[in-house]
Structure 1
Amino acid sequence: MNLDFSQIVPSIPYIIKGIWVTLQIVSVSLIFGFIIGTILSIMKIGKFAPLRWIADAYTSVFRGTPLILQLFLIYFATPQVIGYDISAFQAAVLTFGLNSAAYVSEIIRAGIQAVDKGQKEAAQALGVPYTPMLLNIILPQAIKNILPALVNEFITLTKESAIISTIGVLDIMRRAQIVQANLYRPFEPLIFAALIYYIMVMALTLLGRLLERRLSRSD
């Protein structure tokens, strides 16, 4: 086997810089997706049928089409459709945020519906209005219950973020590809990139477990 990892040593700092780019996109996308997903989940459990239909249609579209297709539509078609020259970073955040919102909305909806009905009945008996009850009583309990699923969504976003290399964002994957092209050695840079992704995922997994333990102790 013609393997020589020493050849990529000078390029290691360059590839590692992609971690910050990846984390920026994933973190902003997750926050954006969580906000939109929360709104969608409330629409889904609401009594106003048109809002439920809109939320369900949104989820169906974004869960039923490939993520890379959504990325290409937003990045390449936005200038044609609305005349705005969207940057690769903006396209990545918007795509991942909108896509994540579809999955997060289902996670939160299931979490809200899993909360003991007695909580809602007790709040209604005390005369607590619906919106404060949902935001201050039901939703916090739901978030605690669905934390593992939210952490898993963060991990999934981190791994799937590698596709942003296709639109030129200098993330981990794109930098590894550049080193690969410069050295004419595809194996070593890609294996190093895989190692970085693996370490990031394991760190996120550990963080999720620590948060779960802390929340379980606070019960």
Structure 2
Amino acid sequence: MFELFMDSLPAFIEGMKITLIITVSSLFLATGIGLVLGLINIGNNKILRLIAKVYIDIVRGTPLIVQAFFLYFGMTGYLGFHMTAEVAGTIVISINAGAYMAEIFRGGIQAIDKGQMEAARSLGLSSTQAMLKVVLPQAFRHMIPAILNQFIISLKDTSILTVIGVSELTQSGQIIISSTYRSFEVWTMVGILYFVLIYILSTIFRQIEARLNND
């Protein structure tokens, strides 16, 4: 098994690299989507709130694999353009995670006492300045565990992207199995590598959370 692991290591490393690139890129995009939608959800514009609600309900109400097929095969074929599987995978994970991040931001912002906004406004800050400088920094501390959880979910969700041909960690395992026929050993190694990735990222996030809580 050790010899198999060493022979397969280059393919595993390449798969892990693609997995991390898609996950990290998606998290940044999803954070932007979630922040915008979260602010819309606590705003007063009913039309924008309806649009945000429809988006969140559709994304959360359909499987990720269907969303991947819809974007990569459905939309590209219907609109007549091409994108790589990696780009499509990043967009799908971003759109999917963005809907959940929106609820994280909404809940985090609403958890902050309204008096914080009122106090900031009384000091002469605009609503935008008060939100960016007073409310969001406090809300972010409460959101870190939920953001970490979503990050881990998104990392594991990248395994679904193998259905559209993304050469991430899971597909690397499938390719190795097709040439070695050693499913048990290969899937064991893939599971261990996912665990190691998630454990390292969880440790980093916990250190960030501890540092922020100590400030």
TM-score greater than 0.5 by the shorter chain:
yes
Tell me the distance in 2 between the aligned counterparts of 1:77 and 1:24: 24
Partner of 2:97: 100
Partner of 2:24: 27
How far residue 65 of structure 1 moved from its aligned partner, in angstroms, is 0.4
Tell me the distance in 2 between the aligned counterparts of 1:46 and 1:7: 56
What letter corresponds to residue 120 of structure 1 in structure 2? M
How far residue 127 of structure 1 moved from its aligned partner, in angstroms, is 3.0
Partner of 1:162: 159
Partner of 2:47: 50
Partner of 2:194: 197
What letter corresponds to residue 92 of structure 2 in structure 1? T
What letter corresponds to residue 81 of structure 1 in structure 2? Y
Aligned residues: 215
2:93/2:157 contact within 8 Å kept:
no
Structure 1, residues 88-129: CA drift from partner, whole Å, max 9, x if none? 011101000011100000000000000122211111222321
TM-score by length of 1: 0.94
1:5/1:188 contact within 8 Å kept:
no
Tell me the distance in 2 between the aligned counterparts of 1:81 and 1:160: 25
How far residue 55 of structure 1 moved from its aligned partner, in angstroms, is 0.7
1:29/1:94 contact within 8 Å kept:
yes
Structure 1, residues 150-194: CA drift from partner, whole Å, max 9, x if none? 011111111111111111111111111000010111111111111
Residue 137 in structure 1 maps to residue 134 in structure 2: yes
How far residue 143 of structure 1 moved from its aligned partner, in angstroms, is 1.1
Tell me the distance in 2 between the aligned counterparts of 1:163 and 1:17: 17
Partner of 2:123: 126
Secondary structure of the residue aligned to 1:102 is helix
Work out which of the residue numbers 12, 17, 22 in structure 1 matches 2:14: 17
What letter corresponds to residue 163 of structure 1 in structure 2? I
% identical equivalent positions: 37
Gaps of 5+ in 1: none
Secondary structure of the residue aligned to 1:17 is helix
Tell me the distance in 1 between the aligned counterparts of 2:131 and 2:123: 14
Work out which of the residue numbers 110, 113, 126 in structure 1 matches 2:110: 113
What letter corresponds to residue 177 of structure 2 in structure 1? Q
Partner of 2:37: 40
Tell me the distance in 2 between the aligned counterparts of 1:126 and 1:16: 53
Instruction: Indicate the RMSD between aligned Cα atoms, in angstroms.
Output: 1.2
Gaps of 5+ in 2: none
Change (3 A) 1:189 1:49: same
Tell me the distance in 1 between the aligned counterparts of 2:42 and 2:147: 19
Residue 175 in structure 1 maps to residue 169 in structure 2: no
1:78/1:86 contact within 8 Å kept:
no
Secondary structure of the residue aligned to 2:153 is helix
